[in-house]
Amino acid sequence: MAHHFICPNCGNRSAATDRNAGFRTEPKGCSECGFGFLFELLDDYYPAPDAAFFVCDRGGRVLACGRGAFELTGLDDERVIGRPVADVLGLNFEGEQADPVGTVLEWGVRALDRPVEVRAENDLPARATADLFPAYDDDGGLLLVLTPDK
């Protein structure tokens, strides 16, 4: 069975039969950009060219910012990493009873095509569509992909 992966730094998609790098227990890295790990997905996923990638730990804190993050938010890595993703990006999910970030982290389910307003550091609002994917490794966490509305 092939596992689907996406690089949270450059967005490169790949498939492999093994989750690890060779015989080691280390996670696979990106063959395109050299990023340290790939994010495993249940199904293949095609992000938009202008999508912004954010990787969070099991507590919802940003671990890494990838392609499109600066373009959408205007924030560089140093101002984002280690902070709660919902706070630093000012995420306001429309019509949601429960916070999709919390749901994905708690239940390990995907949340796709969620309309969201992004107000990074209380800046001007930007409308986007959010796709959230849980991490399937022992570390937990999630991948947040924000696609700006046109």
- The mean per-residue pLDDT over the stretch 50-61 comes to 95
Q: How far apart, in whole angstroms, are the C-alpha atoms of residue 7 and residue 97?
A: 31
45 within 8 A of 131, measured Cβ to Cβ: yes
Give the predicted TM-score (pTM) of the model.
Answer: 0.89
Residue 16 has pLDDT above 80, yes or no: no
Fold of 3-148: Beta-Lactamase (3.30.450)
**How confident is the model at residue 18, as a pLDDT?**
66
